[in-house]
Structure 1
């Protein structure tokens, strides 16, 4: 997922002479002679930072706040669901209402916050998605696929996401009474190996949707947050009962730190999503190698564009047609017509 260029902010920074912008005129770089710039510099002092540093700060701050909000509401909803009185029946059976409630809360929280931060940071909120775009993860695969994050920004963003997960869990534990019941644990009789592969396949589904609707630009890219939220909701429906439906190391790390609970199989919530991300990458690489866009061309066209494409294909000649030169117009006496440009008449 690519980050915006922050062109407007960069232009303002160039006006202030921030960074290594050489050749700026004295009047443009002196706030005393430019009232508008003086006001901007006073209200937004971060614009004096070089563009790369400033954008990294914005991306890191945005990912921290976005991840915090996403996980805060997800954790709070899970806490409400798990604190509700037990329903009639065996306690070992999955409660469809409980599972659906938790899945809806996670999916809606992700969709809302991705949509809010999509134009700021890309709305990653997941270290596996962040590292997917970084050469730190897989030079030959992930960087080729997405290439949306420089290495330095990837490190900053991942740290921000992990800290945001811990902060969100801490705030939920402080605000809601009783023990915090949002840890990701194996359930339903699932073994460690089963839990690992459940996390892997569910993360692969989520990451592949992110790649196809957000990284691959098309006419419905602006609806990517909706598709991502729906995909996460679907994955949570499957995974909540068996693994807690992590799909995100930051989601598992926060409650584990706050509750001081690290089960022996905690590693599956790191390795599973990592393998799932690489699985989604590998399938996408295969599609690109097979030139998937040629398989179903025009799928993104509207009716008018499809009609134009169909019309142009009908008038397309496979072989070039030799152009025949029209005979020169003559009068009845056999005299060429007057040359309109020069005004000279050519006699026979």
Structure 2
């Protein structure tokens, strides 16, 4: 089956929409009921279900850090990577807009007080971790994530059709550890969407959640290439 770039971009748009809407939605709409652990699973499960829904179309990146990392190893062309990233960011923004609309249906909802699941450091961090702690956490967590992405999707991998499960579980694990630090991004699109609507520190510190994941993604690709030469 030949899949056009436009079809791949539609898949990336939809998949990223689901990831941001379900992941951030779990924090904004259900956070008081499910807690950090529930939010962690919401992000991870979103990746799992989308991997099986659109993986055969676009590869289910849903994340500019993944796309850039894969481009650095020649697994996707620069042209396709650029189109993927634009689709991912738009999907995240639309998901945040829909989430914001739904959240306003609750009488005591406040964008300033309740947010949209935006990532943060210092006072914006769930447990008030510093900017440097947040940046290092994003780099390290994304590095781990991308090693798993590259490894589980490698032609030498034994995961096969279970790659989506491995990647989703890794994202869940990352969130379990990292939510108190930054809310966990490891994905620039996931951070851009909510930050645009929340503004303030979420927007001014957005660079942390763009630079950190991209650096981590490139490091993850580099580490993977050290031990997998194929």
TM-score tier by shorter-chain length is 0.7 to 0.9
The alpha carbon displacement at 1:266 in A equals 2.2
Q: Is the 8 A contact 1:206 1:231 kept in 2?
A: yes
1:66 aligns with 2:3: no
Secondary structure at the aligned position of 1:183 is classed as coil
Moved over 6 A (4+): none
Distance of 2:141 and 2:52 partners within structure 1: 22
Q: Which residue in the other structure is 1:231 paired with? A: 170
Distance of 1:264 and 1:196 partners within structure 2: 14
Distance of 2:36 and 2:133 partners within structure 1: 19
Q: Which residue in the other structure is 1:279 paired with? A: 219
- Runs (5+) with no aligned partner, structure 1: 1-5, 8-53, 86-96, 135-141, 292-348
Larger Rg: 1
Q: How does 1:73-222 map to 2 (within 5 A)?
A: 73-82=22-31, 84=32, 98-134=35-71, 142-143=72-73, 147-177=74-104, 178=109, 179=111, 180-186=115-121, 187=125, 188-222=127-161
Deviation string, structure 1 residues 28-70 (Cα, Å, up to 9, x no partner): xxxxxxxxxxxxxxxxxxxxxxxxxx61111111111111112
Secondary structure at the aligned position of 1:162 is classed as helix
Q: Is the 8 A contact 2:196 2:203 kept in 1?
A: no
Alignment size in residue pairs? 217
- Runs (5+) with no aligned partner, structure 2: none
Match 2:210 to one of 270, 280, 287: 270
User: Taking structure 1 as the reference length, what is the TM-score of the superposition?
Assistant: 0.59
The alpha carbon displacement at 1:258 in A equals 1.8
User: Taking structure 2 as the reference length, what is the TM-score of the superposition?
Assistant: 0.88
Q: If each structure's helix is expressed as a fraction of its own residues, which one has the higher value? A: 2
Q: Is the 8 A contact 1:78 1:105 kept in 2?
A: no
